[in-house]
A and B are shown apart, each in its own frame.
Chain A
Amino acid sequence: QQQVKQSPQSLIVQKGGISIINCAYENTAFDYFPWYQQFPGKGPALLIAIRPDVSEKKEGRFTISFNKSAKQFSLHIMDSQPGDSATYFCAARTTSGTYKYIFGTGTRLKVLA
């Protein structure tokens, strides 16, 4: 079954804290795992992405950790800022047939000033 489970549904973090969002998948025919950030009234925008042959990718304050054996990946936002307040979606791209993306249900992050 092609599904990506995301948790938590919502998250409140103090400024300067670490935000952690988790995703898990079942289908092994995924080859690319992007994270998207969406601000209210806007479309999702690619934040950071990882391939399954890499266990960690860091871009600035954002880090993806990938555990292939556990079929889990997570987004860590270090030194969270109020400007990070948004909805975050994990996704996985299928390789069976043509490429298409399966999205998690989203995590609404609020960073308190």
Chain B
Amino acid sequence: DSGVTQTPKHLITATGQRVTLRCSPRSGDLSVYWYQQSLDQGLQFLIQYYNGEERAKGNILERFSAQQFPDLHSELNLSSLELGDSALYFCASSVTSSVPYNEQFFGPGTRLTVL
């Protein structure tokens, strides 16, 4: 158990809908990362937050947004869902983004299925 929790574990929804994925980082970790994992794309970095502020952006679509709250949990919002958004979404956390060689700890993921 990495100490990172993600809810829900599974999510099934329809095209055009909006969903929210939640992540609680390990105790003491200030940095949260979101990744999308699909069969043919591997792990794609979406976005990173550090202590409530956005730090880095990857291949995140405009229909997706995220935030990190004062208690350090983070939410990833996916809107106007398309079939191609079906994937595993992972959250990872680390102590900080600036310490060299800091390890990222991954949560168990949320499996999103868009029908």
Contact = CB atoms under 8 A, between A and B. Distances in A.
The interface size bin for chain B is 20 to 34
Given A31-B100, A43-B2, A100-B48, A106 B43 contact: yes
A76 B50 CA distance: 34
A36 B90 CA distance: 14
Given A42-B108, A43-B4, A99 B42 contact: no
A43 B109 contact: yes
Contacts of A65: none
Nearest to B98: A99
Nearest to B96: A99
Contact of A43 (B48, B50, B90, B97): B90
Interface of A: 6, 31-32, 34, 36, 41-46, 49, 51, 89, 91, 97-106
